[in-house]
Every structure is written in structure tokens, then in C-alpha cells.
Amino acid sequence: MQATAAVLNQPNGPFTVETVDVAAPQAGEVRVAIKAVGICHTDLVIASGAMGLQFPAVLGHEGAGLVESVGEGVTSVKPGDKVLLTFNSCGGCKPCAHHEPAYCNSFVPLNMVATRADGSTRITRDGQPVADNFFGQSSFSSLAVANERNVLKVDDDADLAALAPLGCGIQTGAGGVLRSLGARSGETLVVLGAGAVGLSALLGGRIAGCATIIVVEPQEARRAMALELGATHVLDGQGDVAAAVRAIVPDGADMVLDTSGFMPVVQQAVNMLANRGRLGLLGVPGSLDAALSVPMLQLLTQGATVRGIVEGDSDPQVFLPELLAHHKAGRLPIEKFSRTYALSEINQAIEDAHHGKAIKAILLID
């Protein structure tokens, strides 16, 4: 079936909106008419050719739309259902069995290798394969083939344009605080970076009842948004950030969550921690060999924890419904930092995100 997709033809090149063909779903697959899709930083990292992406390719991994058709054996959704798309997982390995699909043993091949397991693609252009299956969906397209495990049915009245980012960025930030770091009422939280993931982490802290939430962000407009969403303090990230944090919370922070990957500030994060503090790392650094130097004696005597985080430790079939409930109740007002664009405006949306004109860009597809 023909579809309109934003195709990337070369590393870091512009996306071009083209007509492609999308195959019928195979067993266990779901073909979705995409109505909205968020642009995530991970899309842009992979667009550089990282992880060995082959070109041409269709990316996109925060899709939302209507089920168009289902493959053999699919029972959880049917044609016409509204759905959100998220990351894929195998369902059979030890982490999946322990309800930790973000750490699936097959996470990389299922999400980062842009083909099916047999090497085939769902998308072709003029009869030639186009790399797809990114995060099990490749949703920068009016049609995307996902898998039953990474599709979640939502209510018929759900606003897909608003909710699309829940599938990755929002669940990563909010989950990083609520699930990965286990935020408790009255605790203190420092969030490094106030992009969509960082602001979602802030909102996760609000949901958990954190008493003090400090957001570190160089862009003034994003600091203002953080304050609007409930941050108690904002810092611009200049100079000795750890000292600035301790000027606010002298005993240090119970939790520090990095969403920036900006190593000069991340390197200071350990010095922001209180005794028994938890440091979560989910920001993707600019270099593949970036390393965090940890003062061992300090870490030992503080009883501190440092851990990496993928997708906010989300079990999507459990956590996404929780986030939907928070959004419905007004506790997750992601529309405040979202901006919509037509699919044809994808390059402008990326440009605006780079220059701070958009925090969360969402593409709408007719």
C-alpha cells in the first residue's frame, strides 16, 4: 500500500517527503495509519549514521495513529483502534520475563537495526528496500508496520497529536524519576537539561511529591518553562553547578537525573548527591567514548548509586496507561512544551528544535 514518508537518503542529510510502498503486516505485526509522531533526539543521533544505519531510511519512533490492518495472531488491537507506538522487545528473555522490557536482550536488533530479523524491510521505494523497523515502527510515515508488543490501544477520544510523545521521550523522563530512581514524597531532585525529557522528569518529580526540584538548563526560555511547570529553582549551568545546587540544598540532592549528556556538567553530578543519593544517566553524550569519572571513596562513603537508564525503566503496557491517567488528570501537561508541524515541515521542525524555538516537535500527518 502506498504511503507518504519522510525519507533520509544520506547521513545528516535533509529528510525528503516521498511516496513509498508499505507491506502488509506479517504474523504478529500491526499496520498503523500514523496521525502524529514526535521527533526525538535519538532520531537525530541515528540519522548521523550511528549504529550502522543503512540509507535510504525512514526513522521516527513516537508514533500514534489508527490500526489499519493486523497480521495473523494479533488479538490485542483491531482495525480502527487508536494506538500509541513505543519501543519493541522480544517478550521471551529474562529481562522481559521480569517486566523490564527496556533491557530486553534483543533491544538493539529489535529497535536499532532497521530491518526485520530475516533482513527484509516493510518499506520499499521503486521496488528497492528502504531501511525501516526503527524502534519497531519507523513512524515518519503515513503508514507504519509495528509489532503487537509495541502497540498500546488508547481510548477512542484520545488526542493523538498530544499523546504521541508518550511512547519514548515522556515515558523516559517521567519514568526516570518515578520508576528508575524511585522518587519519594519530600525528596529533592535535580534535573540536568530541560528538553522534553528533562521537563517530563520535572513533572515526574511533581507527581511523586518532591519538595525541591532544581532544573539546570542553559536556555532561558526553557528555564522559564521549567518554572511554569513547577520547578522550585533553576540554574543556568555555568560555573560550579554542584556548588550552586548545594547552596540550595546543603546536604545535597536525593536524586540527580541527567537528560543532557553534556559531560562537563554530568561530571559534576556526583558532587551534587546527598548521602544515599541516586544518580541516573539517560542523556546520550555527543561522543561514543564519553566516560564518567567517579570518585570511588566518596561514592563508597556516601552509599550513593550511579545507574544507566533506558526508556525510564518502562513496561509500556503498565506504565503508559499510568501516564495517560496523569495526563487526563492534568498532572502531565505536555502540550505546554509541544509544538506541531506538518510532515512536510520536518526539516523546519528539526531546525527549530536545534535553535530552541521548539522543545517538543510533533509532526501531524493527514
Question: Which 3 state secondary structure label does DSSP give 146?
Answer: strand
**Is residue 320 assigned to a domain?**
no
CATH of the domain at 50: 3.90.180.10
Same domain, yes or no, for 360 and 260? Answer: no
Same domain, yes or no, for 58 and 80? Answer: yes
**Is residue 316 assigned to a domain?**
no
Same domain, yes or no, for 157 and 207? Answer: no
The percent of residues in the chain predicted with pLDDT above 90, rounded, is 92
With cut-offs at 50, 70 and 90, classify the pLDDT of residue 198: very high
Q: What is the dihedral of CA 214, 217, 219, 221, to 10 degrees?
A: -30
Same domain, yes or no, for 159 and 198? Answer: no
Q: What residues contact residue 209 under an 8 Å CB cut-off, 6+ apart?
A: 183, 184, 185, 186
**Is residue 116 assigned to a domain?**
yes
Q: State residue 287's pLDDT score.
A: 82
Q: How many angstroms separate the CA atoms of 152 and 246, rounded?
A: 42
Domain range for 225 is 173-309
Same domain, yes or no, for 114 and 205? Answer: no
**Is residue 30 assigned to a domain?**
yes
With cut-offs at 50, 70 and 90, classify the pLDDT of residue 256: very high
* pLDDT tens digits, 261-316: 999 999 999 999 999 999 999 998 878 889 999 999 999 999 999 999 999 999 99
- What global pTM score does this model have? 0.96
27 by Cβ neighbours in 10 Å (0-12 / 13-18 / 19+) ranks as exposed
* pLDDT tens digits, 49-64: 877 889 999 999 999 9
Same domain, yes or no, for 358 and 262? Answer: no
Same domain, yes or no, for 32 and 162? Answer: yes
Nearest to 133 by CA among 23, 35, 40, 45: 23
Same domain, yes or no, for 111 and 233? Answer: no
Q: State residue 51's pLDDT score.
A: 75
Q: State residue 286's pLDDT score.
A: 79
Q: State residue 50's pLDDT score.
A: 72
What is the total count of domains within the chain? 2
